[in-house]
Each structure stands twice: as C-alpha cells, then as structure tokens.
Structure 1
Amino acid sequence: MGRIWYFVQTVLGIIFRHPVLGTSIIPVLPDGQIVLIRRRDNGKWGLPGGMVDWGQDIPTTVRRELAEETGLELLAIRRLVGIYSAADRDPRVHSVCVVVEAEVQGTMQIHDEWEITAVQAFKRSAIPMGNLSHDHGRQLQDYFDGKTTVA
C-alpha cells in the first residue's frame, strides 16, 4: 500500500506542481501588420495562443490556436522568438510559453467567443504596448529587437 500511495503522490505532483506548456503567436500578415486579439477575461490586447493539448506538438498548437482565435491560416513558422517561464508571467497559472513569429493569411474572424472579443491587425506604431495582457509587451519588444530570449 505504501508504494502505491507514493506512486499516486508522485503522479499528482507531476500533474499539479509543474508548469503547463503554452504558446504565443506573433502573426504577421502579408502587408507586415501584426494581428492581436482582445481577451474577454481582462479586456486587454494580446497575442493569440494557448495551452498545448495532450498529444500535440508546438506547430499543431500554433495552427489550432491561430485558427480558433483569429480565423487565420498558418503558412509558416518563421522563427522562435523566445521561451518565457517566469512564475508570474501568467496570472492564472505557472506556464512556460514558447513564442513564435508566424507568417499568416486569410480573413480575421473570431471562432472562440468565450475567450476573445476582438481581433485586429496593427501597424507596429499602432500596437497598444501599454495595454497588453500577460508579458506580451516584453515578447513583442524582444521580437522587434530581433532577440531570441530564454527567460
């Protein structure tokens, strides 16, 4: 019985005491504009993205989240912008976020109305840097600075 309880505790610790893996996407349209979403939970603008589902890899998650939150199609993942892992970067849960730049196309449309209230393309100079959710301001700044960040 002691070995079984130890095993159960170990499994629960792995599930509940480790960060979850997610992704943020910097979607770049053919005209160079960047697409942001307005979050329903806090009303702020942010990068589309979400948690990696069991059995999925990062590219599949990027494709799925991009379609759900913006209606856009992933053409290519251009580059890794960074991996962000600070325990306080997401107010809901400790998450590790893989941020990628993505070449996208299509018509912007919200498919996940529970999470998203708006989707909009911005020129770099018009991005509301002071009204971004989570650590998306830092992620975008690292992207604009050409950095690949591990933080």
Structure 2
Amino acid sequence: MVESVKKLWQFGQTVLGIIFRHPVTGVSVVPILPDGQIIFVRRRDNGKWALPGGMVDWGEDIPTAMRRELLEETGLELIEMGRLVGVYSAPDRDPRVHSICILVEAKVQGSISIQDQVEISEVKAFSRESIPKDTLSHDYARQIQDYLEGRTTLA
C-alpha cells in the first residue's frame, strides 16, 4: 500500500511538472480579408491590439485551433491557410505565461462579430500602412513586421 501511494505521488509530481514547468502552445493568425486588409483585435486585459489567437486546446491540432480562435475572436471564417510566418518562444514574449506562439497567415471571409466578449473589446481591419504598431500587445509588433517583410522566423 505504501509503495503504491509513493508511486502515485511520484507520478502526480511528474505530471504537474510537465504541465506547469513547460511552455504552453498557442497560435496566432494574420487574417487577410479579400481586400488585403489585416484584422486585429483589441484585448480587454490591456487595451492593446493583437492578432487573433490563443492557446491550443488539449486534443486539438494547430489548424483547428486557428479556425476556432479566429471564429471566437472575430466571427470570421478561415478559408485558406497561407504561409507559416514564425514560431515565437522567448520566455518573456507573453507577460502572463511562458508560451510558444505559432503564427500563420490565412485568407478569411465573413462578417466581423466578437464571440468572446470577455477577452476582446473590438475587432478592426487595417491596411498595411495603418497598422497601429505602437499600440500592439505582447510581441505582435515583431510578428507583424516579420509578416510584412516576408520573413519566416524561429525566435
């Protein structure tokens, strides 16, 4: 009995260590409307602009997470995935948690409507020239610059 409790405790410590001591995986989308404008969302937690995205749920793959997050935050439908822009993993890129963000370009369509009003306060389309680079959250200034300059980044 004591040995089985000890093994269970060790297993629990291992699982908790894996969950809480490893970065979480997230996705972000560079949503491109048919007219070429790029969609950004305004975050409620800091009032800054961000690309739509979020954490990958358990049992979910990257394309499914992209579609889900895009729909939840913007109401838009992902039509076609484009290029992989980058993978961003700096421990300080997200002030809340160490996360790895996979950024992918996507063609989108539909009507803008915020589904997740707890996290998002506004959704807006910007031309490439009017992106509010000085008011972007997290490391989105770097991400959008990599996208605009055609780079594929591993950072």
**TM-score over 0.5 (shorter chain):** yes
State how 1:1-151 maps to structure 2 within 5 Å. 1=3, 2-151=6-155
Provide the secondary structure at the position in 1 that maps to 2:129.
Answer: helix
Amino acid at match of 2:24: V
**TM superposition shift of 1:94:** 0.4
Q: How many Å separate the matches in 1 of 2:122 and 2:132?
A: 14
Q: How many Å separate the matches in 2 of 1:61 and 1:3?
A: 35
Provide the secondary structure at the position in 2 that maps to 1:118.
Answer: strand
**TM superposition shift of 1:72:** 0.4
Amino acid at match of 2:82: R
Q: How many Å separate the matches in 2 of 1:4 and 1:110?
A: 44
Amino acid at match of 2:46: N
Q: Structure 1 stretches (4+) deviating beyond 3 angstroms?
A: none
Q: How many Å separate the matches in 2 of 1:58 and 1:129?
A: 26
Unaligned runs of 5+ in 1: none
Q: How many Å separate the matches in 2 of 1:108 and 1:5?
A: 48
**TM superposition shift of 1:78:** 0.5
Provide the secondary structure at the position in 1 that maps to 2:34.
Answer: coil
**TM superposition shift of 1:9:** 1.2
Instruction: Give the % identical residues.
Output: 66
Amino acid at match of 1:59: P
Which structure has the bigger radius of gyration? 2
**TM superposition shift of 1:49:** 0.2
Q: How many Å separate the matches in 2 of 1:131 and 1:4?
A: 48
